[in-house]
Amino acid sequence: MATVVKLHVFPESFNQHRTRLLRSSFFGPSNNSSSPRVLGFGHNYEGLSVKQCRAFRSEDGGDLKEKKIRTLKKNEVNPKRESGFWNSLKYILLGSKSDDVYRHAVVKVEEVLSVIAIQIGRYIVTMMSTGVILAIGFQMSGGDSQMDALIWYSWLGGIIIGTMIGSNMVLEEHCRAGPRNVVITGSTRGLGKALAREFLLSGDRVVVTSRSPESVEATIKELEENLKEGINNAVGPSLTKLSHAKVVGIASDVCEPHDVKRLANFAVNELGHIDIWINNAGTNKGFRPLLQFSDEDIKQIVSTNLVGSILCTREAMHIMRNQAKAGHIFNMDGNGSGGSSTPLTAVYGSTKCGLRQLQGSLLKECKRTIVGIHTASPGMVLTDLLLSGSTVQNRQMFNIICELPETVARTLVPRMRVVKGTGKAICYLTPPRILLALVTAWLRRGRWFDDKGRALYAAEADRLRNWAENRARFSFTDAMEMYTENTWLSVFSLSVVCAFIILSSTGNTNLPGTW
């Protein structure tokens, strides 16, 4: 018996009638267990028919953001049509019978030409900056031909290395662009939901899943609200990016092979292909000696953490091997994954150690394929999984080293989106972060819990309000980071030139006969 929840989220606001219709159409399990019930727009289920609307219309003089979204939707074309740069240029030069296609072609060409102009401008600025240093170097050389030659060579070396760095930046920016198709297991609470939210607000298409259909439905509605809030705070390219975001969900038990296959088929049917699959579902059952774990506890931990990850990885590999684009699978690291002892969490630690062995084996099996096998290590995250069965002493340690799910997801997701190759380990709790936590341990006392182990941090709803405000300012942060990265290109080139000039000047002063 399986229940499927299939809800599409669009950037436009749902009207109240459609929301009531959706809620009233959510059914429980069907009497016929052989045919799982699916809820979706444009389908018939036991006499219920919901016709898909081509657009969501609002009253004239509506919200400015809604008008922007309508404009974006007008510029979108059927994804089955060719919409590359050269096809768009052809539509402009030769003309198109459809105004929508012509308008989309103009937007596409303007976008590409704008990116090209920006990169050319950066390169020109770099050349001009290094040219200034080059002229200063010639003045310092005093007309010495050997010194002039050395300055020319150092300038050329700086330009070559700087160009390589700049090219890598351009490639990374290109990789960051465009929506990703993402599947996240165990994504209706904790870190999984935070990852889903971060991917969604990066403009990606996300499939959320857990055992409970009610949890899946509630999570989709919550992420829908987060997406609307993100759209309301977005402008320019960020608004365009969010117009492609979408979230769908399905109830699935990763311990059951047929459920995992159904999840994989659902994801392919909804998204077309899968770029990223994250095996996040896991359980712990508290901190206590092995003798105090019941048979059911042990079975559930091993089934969810290890067997579930293996089943999901197998299905994801099936899909990714048969698609044109490369796909990446992430398994979550945890305490014990490196083979170290994990007293009071022996079962949990053994499953994480097994996942590390699975990682090593699959790296060799997938060596010559387009499937990337990676690990993601979130460190210690304040979730129900970590807090279940924890003692007061545990929570005092959590004050020093733990972080909230939203904080961890905001660091992991951008790195997951641009991952390349295979065998990468994406970690939140890096050695510098650990060192910083230990050095500032005296400042972190009472950060999350008081002396009696009572929680001091805000509830999830309050955290999300603050998180939304911070993310509204994220565009400014991105701009500062972009400025820093692009400035690095010219700074690196100039520093190479200056270093060679200084070294050469020092060398000449030590030559015989220069005193």
Q: Three-state secondary structure along 449-469? A: ECCCCCECCCCHHHHHHHHHH
User: Can you give the length of the chain in residues?
Assistant: 515
Helices (H), ranges, 339-391: 346-365, 384-387
Nearest to 88 by CA among 76, 74, 73: 76
The DSSP element (H or E) to which 299 belongs, if any, is: helix 295-302
Phi then psi dihedrals of residue 470, to 5 deg: -65, -35
Phi then psi dihedrals of residue 125, to 5 deg: -60, -40
Residue located via tokens 């005092």:
396
Contacts (Cβ under 8 Å, ≥6 apart) of 201: 226, 227, 230, 242, 245, 471
The Cα 378–Cα 428 span in angstroms is: 5
CB 126 within 8 A of CB 490: yes
The Cα 437–Cα 400 span in angstroms is: 6
Nearest to 5 by CA among 188, 147, 243: 188
Q: Known catalytic residues?
A: 348
Helix, strand or coil, per DSSP, at residue 276: strand
The Cα 8–Cα 224 span in angstroms is: 9
- Rounded to the nearest angstrom, the gap between the alpha carbon of residue 75 and the centroid of all alpha carbons in its chain is 26
The Cα 154–Cα 135 span in angstroms is: 13
Helix, strand or coil, per DSSP, at residue 368: coil
CB 2 within 8 A of CB 10: no
- For residue 159, the tally of other CB atoms under 10 A from its CB is 19
